[in-house]
Amino acid sequence: MTDITDLPKLALDWHRAGRGVAVATVVETWGSAPRAVGAQLVIDADGAMEGSVSGGCVEGAVIVEALEALADGTPRLLDYGVSDDEAFAVGLACGGRIRVLVEPVGTAMPVDLLAELVARRDRAEPVAYVTDLQDGAPRLAGRADFPDRFRLDRSGVEEDARTFVAIHNPPLRMIIVGAVHIAQALVPMARACGYAPVIIDPRGAFGSGARFPGETILDDWPDDAMAALKPDTRTAVVTLTHDPKLDDPAIIAALRSEVFYLGCLGSTRTHAKRVARLEEVGFTADQIGRIHAPVGLDIGGRQPAEIAVSVMAEITQALRKAT
């Protein structure tokens, strides 16, 4: 079974099953468009569909165009206005416009290229699907080609008004070491910001389901847990225990990875001692400089929830702002 939220994989599976597939993608929006740039709709030759490009406003028209594209094997670049009434029906205050690119799989969208896109997504590799809106010829690109778009998760048309870049970033994760009061406030904030949180704490009294209902809690030692989680460029790590026996193994694992954020709770004195321990095991000043400590933006917070707000803000800043 394919997760229907993974639309590129679904399109590939449907094509391989002989169903005939077209992929519709929002490439530009103006005003209060119901779906963001990059939103997709997968349509087969019988009109079955998954996904959405407009929240229901123009899906019927897109399906008709997709069936015609499948019949002649050529792409379509469609332009729709979303009326005030239609926009209001999907929860918006006013109307807008959207442009939708429809690509039949096997012709406009090569099967090998789609398979490679799916494979890179499965490996959690950041990848961009790039195509010329006038001439086609899609290709795949990496973070070095469009660093700002990857950092901002922003698909869109380049300044040449014809090159469309669809960003496929791996999901965001947050690894929190220490199931303390700050973590209880931070976890729901992380979820609200699009992160999948994981809590590491071998202390059963802290890392309990009663304190974190429905959350993923690992009771392994932090270095073992980090090795299993394999943190990457879309991972933030926050250590909150104040205990070097728990925090340090996680910090060492994070510094040896490509996490985009590593924040550690503790005073400047606590951090100075931490720096000394890390230097003793061979880390350089530049490597240690990746650590945000004391953790969080300085907003004057004192309560656990206030500290969590500052941490979430600093993580967002690290993810979205160019250094």
Interval 14-58: pLDDT, tens: 999 999 999 999 999 987 667 889 999 999 999 999 999 887 778
Q: What is the pLDDT averaged over residues 3-8?
A: 74
Give per-residue pLDDT as tens, 233-242: 999 999 999 8
pLDDT value at residue 87: 52
CB 187 within 8 A of CB 197: yes
Kindly list the distances between the CA atom of residue 195 and the CA atoms of 175, 188, 258, 293, 316, in Å, as whole numbers in the listed order.
10, 9, 17, 21, 11
Give me the chain's average pLDDT, please.
92
Burial 159-175 (b: 16+ CB within 10 A, else e): eeeeebbbbbbbebbbb
CA distances from 2 to 6, 113, 128 (A): 7, 19, 21
pLDDT confidence of residue 93: 46
32 or 159: which leads in pLDDT: 159
Mean pLDDT of 77-94: 63
What count of other Cβ atoms lies within 10 Å of the Cβ of residue 249? Answer: 20
Burial of 259 (0-12, 13-18, 19+ CB in 10 A): buried
CA distance 241 to 177: 7
- Per-residue model confidence (pLDDT) at position 1: 36
Residue 77's identity, in one-letter code, is L
**Residues 94-103: pLDDT tens digits?**
567 889 999 9
Is 239 buried (19+), middle (13-18) or exposed (0-12) by CB count in 10 A?
buried
What structural domains does the chain harbor?
Answer: 7-168 (no CATH), 172-320 (3.40.50.720)
